[in-house]
Chains A and B, each alone.
Chain A
Amino acid sequence: MIELKNVSMLFNPGTVNENLAISNINLKVKEGDFITVIGSNGAGKSTLFNLIAGTLIPTEGSISVNDRIVTREPEFKRARYIGRIFQNPLLGTASNMSLEDNMMITYRKGFKWLKRSLNHKMREYFRTELVQLKMGLEERMKENLAMFSGGQRQALTLLMMVLSRPDLILLDEHTAALDPKNAQIVLELTNKFIKEYRLTSMMITHNMSHAIEFGNRLLMMDKGEIIFDAEGEAKKALTVEKLIEKFHEIRHKSFENDRTLLSDE
């Protein structure tokens, strides 16, 4: 479904700040995949998402969705079939508007015209969908989102995104800014929605046990490369210890590579 071919991303080329954030990545995401992505800070996880979502255009390589090349398609066009949730819960909703207005804006993707779609029927529909969150938000449809907690807003962003039925969803550490209780709630909702609607999804997380618990495939990234890719049974067999071991093993190797490289000079 989504395919990245030889994708590289070089920031500030030709300067002292030159930084190869993504180095020659090849990745195929199949329909229905739920991929968890782990890696230390600066490993290139968010850059990878930015490339898929269209926030960044790769310096090299191509990205295709359903066999259509979208490498240079702007973010707002790709957003029509790629949903994305950020770490910051404020980015998915507008604080200065009511809950129902927010849901109306996100209900249909693409350019909006001078039509007034928010009517009684839509409100009823939103109300029934909001019940799924079990947060009592269906009683607060006229309230501004500024009055809601981060957890509520993130759950809401998730629901609104799911209702628009995207082909792929990108979750960029979407529970990292929430307190443990809310993080758990949002994560469970995420898992529930992904299963229910059979969404193809990618999730960045810093929590290794989450990465193992959720999804059918796990990617480990380091220095702009995918250093480990486990799928299906191989992923099921993983434990946190094995993952750390694997991480050390590969990191150690790359460290040795560096040393040989240096001694060669």
Chain B
Amino acid sequence: MIEGILVEGLIYGIMVLGVFITFRVLDFPDLTVDGSFPLGAALMVQCLLLGFNGWLALLVAFAGGVIAGVITAVIHNHLKVPNLLAGILTMTMLYSINIRILGNRANVPVLKHETILSRVSERFSGIIPDEYIYLLFFIIAALIIKLLIDMFFRTDLGMTMGAMGNNEQMVISQGVNPKTLKTIGVGLSNGLVAISGAFAAQYLGFADVGLGQGIIISGLASVMIGEFLVMKSNRIGVLTLCALTGSILFHGVMYLGRYYGYVIKMTPNDLNLIKGLLIIVLLVVTQSKKLKRFTLRAMVAK
């Protein structure tokens, strides 16, 4: 059970890192995610069916996600459409595209084919207990991606992007086109989301167009749970670690809801309601926490 939660948390954690980049760093609420997650899954599965190498298929999925994100950014930048609507547009279009990629089917299994995961488990079975192979693999994969993101945000480009969500005027004043930064950021974010989708497809053994439904809410809830752990930090390494941890905790809660929810007569269909309520509760709690800190400071000042 616990390794199941951890594996799921880490797979979706890669998506959460993407959501963290758009929502928190760029302040660009990007809903493309609901489409780019199944896009990654679809591209992965279809490439595997075509006989591609697993890693190459992963690269294709990443590239597909980047393109999806860039399209959203371009719609927002050049047609002056609000970012929320731009994301919804791309997401809606991706639904059809994903079905096309899957060969006009809504669900395609990949169980009989060799995937990155099946190769890894073949390679290490016997050396490491079977149930821990996936866990170990995803710990390493998620950490590598996390470290790469950390490195990116320490470069000059990454730091400027970090200033973007907080102060767009400052970015303009530095002679940088904020549109370019948004395009890079949203593209990168959706690339990560697609990688997450690609891993999810291999783990689940199929790609489904409905895989991404409401995924943005899961991502956002995970980011918020992660932020709840640490008061405030300006260290990108801490923030990305929080996002990953938040994802694991979120999937823990969802797991409990799925398997023990029947105690309170809950069905799996109620999970979306639970996700939404979770976000609302987190919003209320963080805001009252801020309020408390504020009054506390005011009292100290007196």
Are B176 and A94 in contact, CB atoms less than 8 angstroms apart? Answer: no
Are A112 and B167 in contact, CB atoms less than 8 angstroms apart? Answer: no
A87 to chain B, nearest CB (A): 12
| Chain A residues within 8 Å of B165, by CB | 96
Q: Which of A68-82 contact B (CB under 8 A)?
A: 74-77, 79-80
Q: Could you mark each residue 232-245 of chain B with 1 if its beta carbon is under 8 Å from any beta carbon of chain A, else 0? A: 10100000000000
Are A113 and B166 in contact, CB atoms less than 8 angstroms apart? Answer: no
Q: Which of B142-161 contact A (CB under 8 A)?
A: 152, 154-160
Are B154 and A98 in contact, CB atoms less than 8 angstroms apart? Answer: no
* Given known contacts A84-B173, A92-B173, A111-B176, A116 and B155 CB-to-CB distance under 8 angstroms: yes
Cβ-defined partner of B169 (8 Å) among A74, A91, A109, A114: A91
A5→B75 CA distance, assembly (Å): 36
Are A86 and B169 in contact, CB atoms less than 8 angstroms apart? Answer: yes
Q: By DSSP majority rule, is chain B's interface helix, strand, loop, or mixed?
A: helix
Determine whether B277 belongs to the interface, using a CB cutoff of 8 Å to chain A.
no
Q: How large is the interface on A (under 10, 10 to 19, 20 to 34, 35 or more residues)?
A: 35 or more
* Given known contacts A76-B177, A91-B169, A105 and B155 CB-to-CB distance under 8 angstroms: no
Are B154 and A109 in contact, CB atoms less than 8 angstroms apart? Answer: no
A113→B155 CA distance, assembly (Å): 7
Determine whether A120 belongs to the interface, using a CB cutoff of 8 Å to chain B.
no
Determine whether B84 belongs to the interface, using a CB cutoff of 8 Å to chain A.
no
Q: How large is the interface on B (under 10, 10 to 19, 20 to 34, 35 or more residues)?
A: 20 to 34
| Chain A residues within 8 Å of B93, by CB | none
Number of inter-chain CB pairs below 8 Å: 94
| Chain B residues within 8 Å of A105, by CB | 156, 159-160, 163, 170, 174
A88 to chain B, nearest CB (A): 9
A112→B152 CA distance, assembly (Å): 12
A76→B3 CA distance, assembly (Å): 49
* Given known contacts A111-B180, A113-B157, A115-B156, A79 and B172 CB-to-CB distance under 8 angstroms: yes
Are B234 and A92 in contact, CB atoms less than 8 angstroms apart? Answer: no
Are B172 and A90 in contact, CB atoms less than 8 angstroms apart? Answer: no
Identify the closest chain B residue to A109 (Cβ).
Answer: B175
A173 to chain B, nearest CB (A): 15
A106→B156 CA distance, assembly (Å): 10
Determine whether B178 belongs to the interface, using a CB cutoff of 8 Å to chain A.
yes
Are B178 and A76 in contact, CB atoms less than 8 angstroms apart? Answer: yes
A100 to chain B, nearest CB (A): 10
| Chain A residues within 8 Å of B219, by CB | none
Identify the closest chain B residue to A161 (Cβ).
Answer: B173
Are A106 and B174 in contact, CB atoms less than 8 angstroms apart? Answer: yes
A236→B206 CA distance, assembly (Å): 81
Determine whether A175 belongs to the interface, using a CB cutoff of 8 Å to chain B.
no
Q: Which of B118-153 contact A (CB under 8 A)?
A: 152
Are B175 and A77 in contact, CB atoms less than 8 angstroms apart? Answer: yes
Are B172 and A76 in contact, CB atoms less than 8 angstroms apart? Answer: yes
Cβ-defined partner of B156 (8 Å) among A83, A94, A95, A104: A104
| Chain A residues within 8 Å of B160, by CB | 105, 112
**Residues of chain B at the chain A interface (Cβ within 8 Å):** 152, 154-160, 162-163, 165-167, 169-178, 180, 232, 234
A-B contact pairs, 27 of them (CB 8 A): A76-B176, A84-B173, A92-B173, A93-B170, A94-B163, A94-B166, A94-B167, A96-B162, A97-B166, A98-B234, A101-B162, A104-B156, A105-B159, A105-B160, A106-B174, A111-B175, A111-B176, A112-B155, A112-B156, A112-B157, A112-B159, A112-B176, A113-B156, A114-B152, A115-B156, A116-B155, A118-B159
For the complex of A and B, the 7 pairs showing the least CB-CB separation, nearest first, are: A112-B156, A94-B163, A80-B175, A109-B175, A112-B157, A94-B166, A79-B175
- A sample of 7 more A-B contacts (CB under 8 A), given A94-B167, A96-B166, is A76-B171, A84-B173, A94-B162, A97-B162, A101-B234, A105-B156, A112-B157
